[in-house]
Structure 1
Amino acid sequence: MTDTPALPDTPHVLSPRDEASVRFGLQAERLSKNALNLLPIDPAAPRGQRLRRALALKKELDELVKRAVIAEREEGTTWAQLADATGISKQAAHERWAGNVTSWAANGRAMFPPDSRYSALEVAYRLDEVYADLDSRHSQDAVSSGLDAVRFPGAAAAGAARRERAQGLHTRLALLDERLATAYGEWKLLDDAGARQGARAEALHRLAALNEEIAALYEELTGVEPELADEHRNSAEHARTSATSNRKYAELLAAKAEAAPANTSSGGTR
């Protein structure tokens, strides 16, 4: 680690764009180290060992690609531009990597937890050294000098409030997801047990209400995290579609319950 101190007005957690860029750089360093570790030749190595290690390296490369997509999205690269870079359709690119971007957002868009003693800026300074040591012609601050926190010291602090608001929304989403999973489990038990249609309809209405709450939060996130608005709109639309499906099925069950003749047998009504 260099002795270069963090700027006084630079927060411990940098802007999402900086955090994603440094995380990509850290993965690139890890990949390079693992690739170099394949150079030694061990005549006593078990059969297949070289291939196993090469495949493990491919997994690291796949992770680097995911980190590249996240960093690109944080920089404002559109899905159409990402598709053009990979030679696939926009839909295929979105299906392949949108989940990674969404997970990054849900985890706070940062390399480390807020209470961690590590910071992205410290990692950037270390990567400066790594890159400079590779070749004397390389810049001494090739990584850190490209960060918003270094180029525009006041910008990172200005975005802290927006990040805090986004984290609050993601926390609420996580709680709603837990409630949704519980509600779905309750509905599944009723459905599997052949419970009366009215009870199953009520459970579906609860699921629909939760999905509508989730959709509303994702819509709110589009304004708080505009860089990832496409992902949030897609998640909101998915939740609204689920809510509509829940309500339609609930109405069908309720209609069947009203139309069914009363059953006085010991088995009760269904």
Structure 2
Amino acid sequence: MDHQPVEPSLSTRLSPGLYIVATPIGNLGDITLRAIETLKRCDVIACEDTRVTGKLLKHHGISKPMRRYDDHASDAAREKLLAEMQSGAVALVSDAGTPLISDPGYRLVRDAREAGTEVTSLPGACAAVTGLTLSGLPNDRFLFAGFLPVKEKARADALAELAAIDATLVFYETGPRLVKSLRAMAEALPDRDVAVARELTKLHEECRTGSPDDLAEHYEAKPAKGEIVLLVGPPLEVAASSENAEQLLVEALETLKPSQAAAQVAKATGMDRKKLYVRAMELKAK
């Protein structure tokens, strides 16, 4: 006789602690079974906006007490949640996506860990990662930089600080500020590939790529709405000239064997290692 695995009863309470629960970023279907089960079995839900979270709970037939917890929450509100975790399960959600990613919550997690409270994080939707995978930009290395500053000089300073980082840059942005940010990128990050991913997972999802100036002109004519992920490709590699490679080989041969010098210069310039080795042998012979 086959024995089916026994699913935990929804009436079974979760162990006391903090549960970080990722919620959909648009499409309500983008929530894990584990997240739904956790929201059903927890004792209280800490959320940014009870109206937004209330719609999600109603969609999944869940009724739970909710506590508002956002950037403006008081220390007393955080302490109350920490106290509730001692005997009950508190689920932390944001309005959309994974909590703590440009959302409030890190202080709550930090204080919970310092108090020895069990903290569990459930993986799920994240707009930054969804936008990155959709953009077609290099994703072996990326830096999430949150929202750019609102003021023009602070925004320019932030972009200048990030300009030399050899990775795709990922930002969150709003429709009204998108064109200003693109214009600032045209100044600070010229000749970089840029992608604007908006309304992710929703009916009017869009991912448009191009130069910062071209994208700024497009969105000036057609103002963007909705939540936006703004991505900037890494600095373009400057192709090394044969003269530069020659000089690098000469310098490398002062301390390295021809094969080692060729390998080092090939890695630095992207040029063919075999050709560099032949030239290194010629230089060594001289």
Higher relative contact order (CA 8 A, sep 6+): 1
Report the TM-score, using the length of structure 2 for normalisation.
0.21
Give the structure with the higher percent strand: 2
Give the structure with the higher percent helix: 1
Report the TM-score, using the length of structure 1 for normalisation.
0.22
